[in-house]
Amino acid sequence: MSRSLSLPASVVVLVLLGSPLAHAVDGVLEINQTCAEQTGCFPGDAPGFPVEITVEGAYRLTSNLAPPTLAVDGITASVVVKIDLNGFDVKGPGTCSGFGATRNCTNGAGAGIRLVSGANVVGNGAVRFFGDDCIAMASGRLHDVLLASCGGSGVEATDAVALDGAQLLFNEGDGATLGRGSRATDVTTQGNRGHGLSLGASSQARDVSALSNGRAGIEGLAGGVQLERVAVDGNLNGINVGNASQVSHATAGFNTAIGIAMGAGARLSDSTATNNGSVGMQVGARSRVRDAVSNGNTTHGFLGLGGQIFYTGVSADLNGGSAIDSPVGGESILQSVALTGGTTISGPFTEFGLNSCNGSTTCP
């Protein structure tokens, strides 16, 4: 009767052969370390990294993934895919040292996830310690991801990306480089060597914290950028955006250079800049600055790089330079400003409404 207590040898062989092969659950194809290394995870994927996806569809990790060298990607897809990281960690063999401007990671050709087509969706997990970008992609949606300690950027996207819920930490490149028309929400980006968040033209970001990055906390020099409810602290420049951009409800503190720098035609409101190492807030010609406070910065509280700037409801104190400096390009307008400090204003201004400069109702 001993034969009934043990499985036939043929069944054992089938089980052993079958176990590393990933299979579909409700149409979702599985990816795990065993199939990646031993058998390939599905048709079109040869054994060994990277896991190659050549068929459109939905995929899900069922273990952590760890490629053996910095030269290979973790996952590559040549088609539109949806990848659920399922709480797992895609982790390369890299190492890093330093922080912010001194962050230095081992570099290599391998990205954690490389998506060649557009319109991909990736979420719910971590990608770390790759030699190239953690995620390289064209366009799509990333959500609920930790992208950290990669030799490139946390995410490098050539086109529009919706980035919703991300921790972008300690990468040697940018926390994220996103193409034009992108949207970033609920993002923390800290200690990257490049920009915390680099935005293409006409992109939007809200509820972003950018801390201690080696370049700008949030950069968008292509212009037409909209930022709302952002905190930038301890970066090189806090915010550095181009023409026709809008910033509201921003706080910029303790950045090494300028707190908030915007191009011509800026709309800057309901924001504060404190204790930055250069100008608190800088805008180009024909900008509007409303309900803004700029205190304790090393040089000017507000600096206009051109004329015809409308300042209303702003205050400045304890700055090392002028409270407002607008040296060129036609008269600017002051309305309901409260300025204190050594030189309250330099440059041509027209006043109306109630102003206060060092306690005087007439500003110099």
Task: Compute how many other C-beta atoms are within 10 angstroms of the C-beta atom of residue 26.
Answer: 6
Least distance in angstroms from the C-beta of 76 to Ca ion: 9
Closest residue to Ca ion, Cβ-based? 45
Helices (H) and strands (E) in the chain, counts: 3, 36
- What DSSP string runs through 115-176? E-SSSEEEEEEEEE--SS-SEEESSEEEEEEEEES-SS-SEEESS-EEEEEEEEES-SS-SE
Chain positions 107 to 166 lying near Ca ion, rule: CB under 5 A, are none
Among the listed residues 199, 172, 195, the one whose alpha carbon sits nearest the alpha carbon of residue 185: 199
The residue range among 47-55, 86-94, 178-186, 188-196 that interacts with Ca ion, by the rule CB under 5 A, is 47-55
DSSP class of residue 68? S
The least distance separating Ca ion from the CB of residue 47, rounded to whole angstroms, comes to 6
Least distance CB 50 / Ca ion (angstroms): 6
User: Taking the complex as a whole, how short is the minimal distance between the CB of residue 101 and Ca ion, in angstroms?
Assistant: 37
Please tell me the distance from the alpha carbon of residue 160 to that of residue 201, in angstroms, as a whole number.
Answer: 10
- The two three-digit tokens of residue 289, written as one number: 């600055």
Give the nearer residue to Ca ion in terms of CB position, either 33 or 226.
Answer: 33
Instruction: Give CA torsion, residues 310, 347, 322, 317, to 10 deg.
Output: -40
Of 50 and 200, which has the nearer Cβ to Ca ion? Answer: 50
| Window 310-349: residues binding Ca ion (CB under 5 A) | none
Select from 42-50, 119-127, 150-158, 252-260 the region that touches Ca ion (CB under 5 A): 42-50
Between 44 and 348, CB nearer to Ca ion? 44
The span of 41-49, 63-71, 283-291, 344-352 binding Ca ion (CB under 5 A) equals 41-49
Distance, in Å, from the CA atom of 63 to the CA atom of 318, rounded to the nearest integer, reads: 55
Nearest approach, Cβ of residue 38 and Ca ion (Å): 10
* Residue among 65 and 303 whose Cβ is closer to Ca ion: 65
CB of 20 to Ca ion, least distance (A): 13
Helix, strand, coil tally for the chain in percent (to 5) = 5, 45, 50
> Which of the ranges 18-26, 45-53, 162-170, 234-242 carries the binding residues for Ca ion, by CB under 5 A?
45-53
Cα distance between residue 251 and residue 292, in whole Å: 10
Closest distance to Ca ion from the beta carbon of 70 (Å) = 17
Residue in 30, 37, 45, 219 binding Ca ion, rule: CB under 5 A:
45
Q: Does 37 bind Ca ion (CB under 5 A)?
A: no
Q: CB within 8 A of 146, min separation 6: which ones?
A: 125, 126, 127, 128, 166, 167, 169
Q: How many residues bind Ca ion (CB under 5 A)?
A: 3
Name the site residues for Ca ion (rule: CB under 5 A): 45-46, 52
